[in-house]
Amino acid sequence: MTTDRRTLDSALSGSTLTGHDQGAIDYRPVALMPDVRVVKIGGQSILDRGRAALFPVLDELIAARKEGIQVVVLVGGGTRARHIYSIASELEMPVGVMATLGKYIPMQNGRMVQMLLARHGGLYILPDDFEKLPLYLQLGCIPVMSGMPPFGYWEKREAGSRIPPHRTDAGVFLSAEFLGAPRAIFIKDEDGLYTDDPKKDPAAQHIPRITAAELTARDLPDVVVERVVVEYLPRARWCKQLQIVNGLEPGEVLKALRGEDNGTIIDAA
């Protein structure tokens, strides 16, 4: 006869650990670092444009930091990511392999941004360094990291696509949500959300403010942020707004970091 399970008594000891079975715990969530601004610099939209686009964006990040605003910078991939996704798709690589390949380009871009920010306190950090953010931010540093979530081989396949659904926009939103920041800011090369890709359709209209539900209901063929982010936004505890601003327009980044509602705001509800 085999010994019984030796169980630690806890509110979840008999639980199957699924969403609808979590015992009688009174969950009162804590926001870890609500004053932090989590900002993404787009890969294709900013970094692939080189110095002309990136330097003015960095100047505004530095200016914000000098005003005492705590900034954590995450960086996207861009055209090299599209190139490797394209070749790997032809080779029918599983989505988890695609997501692992997708980690490398934002990492390169993050390192580039760190080098440029070094004299202003730019630090390259890894996902595991999140626990040191309080120190870095108190010292006035600007932590820089890849926007790619660490899912890698564990990235799920999405129906009808071989591209990893969680890419650098998702990493920015999930970082803001973990830190308890109310807004995730995306620096791109458009004024925000449009009714279609404004680079392809000149008649596309700018949308200054919209809710996640309205955006989903519009069922646009293309959107400016990753679809999973729009899906997660209504379920977020803390990060209930996405803001998309045009990094090519002087002053827009600084306005957003100061908390203004420029660009497009997507609300959780």
Partner 1 sequence: MTKLVEGDGRTHIKSPLMRESLQNRGVLAGTDSDHDLQIFPDVTLVGIGGQSIFDRGRDAILPLVEELAECKKDHKLVLAVGGGTRVRHTMSIALDLGLPVGGVAQLVGAMEELNAILLNALMAKHGSMPMQRDHFWDLPLYLSSGITPIAISIPPYHLWEPPPEEGNLPMHGSDFGLFQMAEVLGFKQVIFVKDERGLYDKDPKKHDDARFIPRISLPELRANPPAENILDEALFDAWANSNHLATVRIVNGLERGALTAALRGEDVGTLITREAP
Give the count of residues interacting with partner 1 (CB under 8 A). 92
- Residues 97-126 contacting partner 1, CB under 8 A: 97, 100
Phi, psi dihedral angles at 202 (to 5 degrees) = -65, -20
Q: Which is nearer to partner 1, 91 or 139 (CB)?
A: 91
Among 171, 192, 247, 263, binds partner 1 (CB under 8 A): 171
Least distance (Å) between residue 261 CB and partner 1? 23
Record the tokens describing residue 136, joined without a space: 């870095």
240 binds partner 1 per the rule CB under 8 A: no
Q: Give, in degrees to the nearest 5, the angle at Cα 14 between 11 and 17.
A: 85
For the chain, give percent helix, strand, coil, nearest 5.
Answer: 40, 15, 45
Tell whether residue 182 is a contact of partner 1 (CB under 8 A): no
Choose between 31 and 118: whose C-beta lies nearer to partner 1. 31
Among 59, 101, 120, 180, the residue binding partner 1 under the rule CB under 8 A is 180
Smallest distance, Å, CB 262 to partner 1?
21
Question: Which residues, 6+ apart, have CB-to-CB distance to 219 below 8 Å?
Answer: none
Contact call for residue 212 and partner 1 (CB under 8 A): no
Place of tokens 């650990």: 17
222 makes contact with partner 1 (CB under 8 A): yes
**Is 156 one of the binding residues for partner 1 (CB under 8 A)?**
yes
State in Å, rounded, how far the first CA of the chain is from the last one: 56
The least CB distance from residue 191 to partner 1, in Å, is: 16
DSSP bridge pairs for 41: 75, 187
Closest CA to 71 of 193, 150, 183: 183
Interaction of residue 134 with partner 1, rule CB under 8 A: no
Q: What is the DSSP string of 199-216?
A: TT-TT--EESEEEHHHHH
Report, in Å, the least distance between residue 67 CB and partner 1: 27
Question: Considering only 3-11, 109-117, 208-216, 257-265, which stretch makes contact with partner 1 by CB under 8 A?
Answer: 3-11
Only segment of 54-62, 117-125, 236-244, 249-257 that touches partner 1 (CB under 8 A): 236-244
Residue 217 within binding range of partner 1, rule CB under 8 A? no
- Candidate residues 39, 41, 57, 95; the one interacting with partner 1 per rule CB under 8 A: 95
115 - beta bridge partners?
A: none
Burial class (CB in 10 A: 0-12, 13-18, 19+), 5: exposed
Strands 206-207 and 193-194: antiparallel
- Per CB under 8 A, the list member of 8, 139, 203, 269 interacting with partner 1 is 8
Q: Which residues of 93-112 are buried (b: 16+ CB within 10 A; e: fewer)?
A: bebbbbbbbbbebbbbbbee
Residues 13-42 that bind partner 1 (CB under 8 A): 13, 15-23, 25-30, 32
Q: Is 59 in the site for partner 1 (CB under 8 A)?
A: no
